Structure 1
Amino acid sequence: MQSKQNNKDYIVGMYVRLSRDDERAGESLSIENQKAILSDYITEQGWTLYDTYVDDGISGTTFDRPGVKRLLDDAKQGVINTILVKDMSCFGRNYIMVGQYLDYVFPTFGIRFVALSDNIDTENKDTPAMDMMPITNVFNEWWAATTSKKLRAVRIKNAKEGKNGMSHPPYGYTIGTDEKRTLQVNEETAPVVKRIFELRASGLTPRKIADILNVEKVLTPNDYRISTTGINGVRNPSHLWHTAVLRTLLSNQAYIGNLVQHKSTTISYKNHKWHRRPEEEWIIIENAHEAIISKELWDKVKEVEKAVGHGKHTQRGFMHPLSGLMFCADCGAKMRLGWNM
């Protein structure tokens, strides 16, 4: 790349990124390798490094990244006047967003942008690399779309073959070390799972079950996970059992030995918002691992949940014992308490 030496002081924001997809390309794209290459270039040019901005494990198709957000904020505030990346794809794989920054935002704020491996430098516009920049942007996004499609196909294939793709196991299990990462019963927590199902089958509501577990100071699934792995899977945990946790647990087919995957997906390779798939699209492998509860107990719980109403509390917070349980003998509608004055 042709260097442009003048009397201007270049205050550099070094940006490095590596997504899980990029990791397969090996050490050449690693965070540390990017830092080393860019640091040497800054030294060669006599520039001043202000800070290094890092996004590790985040896709370039989104600009909702902590590192790139901080980089852009500093650029707009005038803290830095030069952005240096190893290549265009490190900055982003969304050609519309990348084009918006390079063509409008950076020129407006007087920001120089340099993508070292692509020979792109916005202060040297009359170069073949700059002429090819729009095509480079489109190609980078095409690569992201193609990779996303391939990875999705691999995940579906693995799910149909009974390979466990969970990042962490359901409460009551651990992940095995075999090729399929088969779920293994956790002897410490599996009895809690079985007891929850038995209590629900006896007619106790999730709220009542939660009260019992909280009184007995049984660790919640998230607290147990933190105590054993150090990984916190929930933001702002209450450290208490509550109905939402129990309803999720009571609906998890893993406890009868079924491996259920492909339940949710992102909207697209660029829109990473998750949405739930219709149940008929789920991939279910029956008897994929050892069950914690019997199919009879599972069916009993489903019968209870289908037959028993939840009832309603009065304005004073009291629930009548028969609330949600009484039905009209003529029309079959639920009966409710009323007062005749």
Structure 2
Amino acid sequence: MNRVAIYCRLSDEDRIKERNKDSESIQNQKNLLMDYALNQGWEIYKLYSDDDWSGMDSERPEWNQMISDAQNSHFNIVLCKSQARFTRDMEMVEKYLHTLFPMWGIRFVGFADNADTENKGNKKARQINGLVNEWYCEDISENIKVVFDKKRRDGLYIGGIAPYGLMKKPNAKGKLIIDPEAAVIVRRIFQLYLEGYGALKIAKVLNDEGIPNPTKYKMMHGINLQKRENLGLWTGVTVRKILKNEMYIGNMVQGVHRKISYKSKKCILVPKEKWYIVENTHEAIIDKETFKLVQKIMTSKRRSDGSGKPHILSGKVKCRECGSTMVRFTPHNRTGESLSYKYLKCGMIDRKKGVCTGHYIRLDRLEKLIAYMFKEYLKDINEVLLREECKKIPLTEQKIMNSFDRELSYIDKQILQREKAIEVLYMDRLNGDITMQQWIQMKSNFQHKLEALLNRRKILQNKKVQALSDSNKDSMLIEKIKKYKNMEELDVGVVNEFIEYITIGEKNKENGKQEVNIKWRY
């Protein structure tokens, strides 16, 4: 007697297509196919069912179990409602229906579309069905991509799980709000970094205090991340990702990765200029000045003495002769014992002999000198005069802003028109009003113009932000000066805020003098 395996499948796209019909439900598929098998006099071996799985997905659990059982000859017939229920991938049609199943002695039967591998005459029909099913999946994938890209451009969050420190706003799809509990840790990470701690040292501090990492935190709050094992430990990589994430300054950053194909789950990194970045979409955890300062520090070279915390001038001190960053070292006495104080030396001395002369300076004395020079720098600033200058905002600035707004408004209208045109074209394609070739050609033309408009909008937005930043820079400087004018001790925050770099000259052997210069940020 023939033994049959019944396979049923339903995915989200099938639900959308059959929204007002019950024929595609899993239970109805089972009932229909069981009746058919019994009427044919076949013995039912097992019912396999995958709910919420795409026909393009080769990782369907029940489907894979059925393939394994077929290979082990547990049955000799596979019965589905249609070929599309089995797979929508043309490669899988050829691999199983026309290659492996015949080798294993398996017959495939599609009830609704009359697909039957025992009938040699309908092989071409099965292949055509396979192509049509794959085209359908490709169309669905393109449509979803268009919709998702529009949401990204509109600053709506489309991810499954919000970044650490943020959470999805209830009853407001695509909106994010601050997660107060996790936001405290995010702010602390930024503060520790500004205090001179490296990423590894920050991770150690958080682990020592028993603070769960982002993955463990989300799992503790009922989010299933399907991780096999997670110890909840922080790493330097995790800390660096947080320090680089613009989401924490209120910007929506999406499209960082993309799938290489609608048939594959593999993702690749997208160049940053192609990311979707929409500013000020949600409340910021970190202010923009702090974030900008952290990015600048991360791109500079900072060296630790092994404790994970660099000295307060780390990365800022350079050799005046060759421009290399000066590095810290501990001198030793004649018996080999380490001395209590540290020195800075030119980083090129040890690397390439003869490139630079021996520039040395004692670190504690340099820090005291920089603190004195900083106080003198603040004394020379006339705060009253600076405040009066800040009030003189030229009228041309407002005209520039109005010009930006007018052009941005015009571009937004053009973008909306082209997005609607693509949607109309897609509906025409589904309805058969235009051919596939016409759809591809017209969509390509609209997409090219749309990308040009999006690039222009991004450039204008960046220029507008820069213009606003420049207009606020002087008033922000007043607040910074007021904050640090009565400072008693130099710290990392002050150094990073006001000092671009420090140059150290070679010590004069005759008079013992050594030139130290500061390049101020303001």
Instruction: Please name the residue that 1:44 is paired with.
Output: 39
Change (3 A) 1:312 1:32: farther
- In 1: Cα distance, 2:82 partner to 2:305 partner: 60
Secondary structure in 1 matching 2:108: strand
- In 2: Cα distance, 1:169 partner to 1:75 partner: 42
- In 2: Cα distance, 1:220 partner to 1:51 partner: 44
Query: Match for 2:270 among 277, 287, 299?
Result: 277
Give the 5 Å matches for 1:236-275.
236-275=229-268
Unpaired segments ≥5 residues, structure 2: 326-346, 354-522
- In 1: Cα distance, 2:266 partner to 2:137 partner: 17
Deviates more, 1:59-68 or 1:189-198: 59-68
- In 2: Cα distance, 1:65 partner to 1:299 partner: 45
Query: Match for 1:29 among 24, 28, 49?
Result: 24
Secondary structure in 1 matching 2:285: coil
Determine if the alignment matches structure 1 residue 13 to structure 2 residue 8: no
Higher relative contact order (CA 8 A, sep 6+): 1
Query: Match for 1:330 among 316, 321, 325?
Result: 321
Secondary structure in 1 matching 2:140: helix
Deviates more, 1:62-71 or 1:289-298: 62-71
Return the letter of the residue paired with 1:43: L
Determine if the alignment matches structure 1 residue 65 to structure 2 residue 60: yes
Q: Tell me the TM-score normalized by structure 2.
A: 0.57
Instruction: Please name the residue that 1:94 is paired with.
Output: 89
User: Could you tell me whether the CA contact under 8 Å between 2:197 and 2:309 is conserved in 1?
Assistant: no
User: Could you tell me whether the CA contact under 8 Å between 2:196 and 2:309 is conserved in 1?
Assistant: no
Change (3 A) 1:147 1:186: same
Pairwise CA distance, 1:142 = 0.7
The count of aligned residue pairs is 325
Pairwise CA distance, 1:329 = 4.6
- In 2: Cα distance, 1:266 partner to 1:331 partner: 46
Pairwise CA distance, 1:97 = 2.4
Instruction: Please name the residue that 2:72 is paired with.
Output: 77
- In 1: Cα distance, 2:120 partner to 2:279 partner: 60
Instruction: Please name the residue that 2:206 is paired with.
Output: 213
Give the 5 Å matches for 1:157-176.
157-176=150-169
- In 2: Cα distance, 1:258 partner to 1:222 partner: 22
Return the letter of the residue paired with 2:101: F
Instruction: Please name the residue that 1:106 is paired with.
Output: 101
User: Could you tell me whether the CA contact under 8 Å between 1:14 and 1:38 is conserved in 2?
Assistant: yes
Give the 5 Å matches for 1:189-200.
189-200=182-193
- In 2: Cα distance, 1:105 partner to 1:33 partner: 29
Change (3 A) 1:61 1:333: farther
User: Could you tell me whether the CA contact under 8 Å between 2:90 and 2:130 is conserved in 1?
Assistant: yes
- In 1: Cα distance, 2:91 partner to 2:220 partner: 44
Pairwise CA distance, 1:17 = 2.5
User: Could you tell me whether the CA contact under 8 Å between 1:183 and 1:289 is conserved in 2?
Assistant: yes
Pairwise CA distance, 1:321 = 6.3
Larger Rg over CA atoms: 2
User: Could you tell me whether the CA contact under 8 Å between 2:302 and 2:310 is conserved in 1?
Assistant: no
Secondary structure in 2 matching 1:174: strand
Instruction: Please name the residue that 1:183 is paired with.
Output: 176
- In 2: Cα distance, 1:88 partner to 1:161 partner: 39
Instruction: Please name the residue that 2:287 is paired with.
Output: 294
State percent identity of aligned pairs.
Answer: 35
User: Could you tell me whether the CA contact under 8 Å between 2:198 and 2:308 is conserved in 1?
Assistant: no
Pairwise CA distance, 1:178 = 4.1
Instruction: Please name the residue that 1:6 is paired with.
Output: none
Secondary structure in 1 matching 2:180: coil
- In 2: Cα distance, 1:281 partner to 1:144 partner: 25
User: Could you tell me whether the CA contact under 8 Å between 1:93 and 1:144 is conserved in 2?
Assistant: yes
Pairwise CA distance, 1:153 = 0.6
Deviations 1:57-113 (A, max 9, x none): 333234343332222121111122111112111211121321232122111111011
User: Could you tell me whether the CA contact under 8 Å between 1:203 and 1:304 is conserved in 2?
Assistant: no
User: Could you tell me whether the CA contact under 8 Å between 1:222 and 1:233 is conserved in 2?
Assistant: no
Secondary structure in 2 matching 1:21: helix
Secondary structure in 2 matching 1:255: helix
Instruction: Please name the residue that 2:218 is paired with.
Output: 225
- In 1: Cα distance, 2:308 partner to 2:182 partner: 32
Change (3 A) 1:201 1:23: farther
Secondary structure in 1 matching 2:131: helix
Secondary structure in 2 matching 1:248: helix
Instruction: Please name the residue that 1:4 is paired with.
Output: none
Give RMSD over aligned pairs. 2.7
- In 2: Cα distance, 1:297 partner to 1:215 partner: 26
Deviates more, 1:99-108 or 1:145-154: 99-108
Unpaired segments ≥5 residues, structure 1: 1-8
User: Could you tell me whether the CA contact under 8 Å between 1:162 and 1:180 is conserved in 2?
Assistant: no
Instruction: Please name the residue that 2:429 is paired with.
Output: none
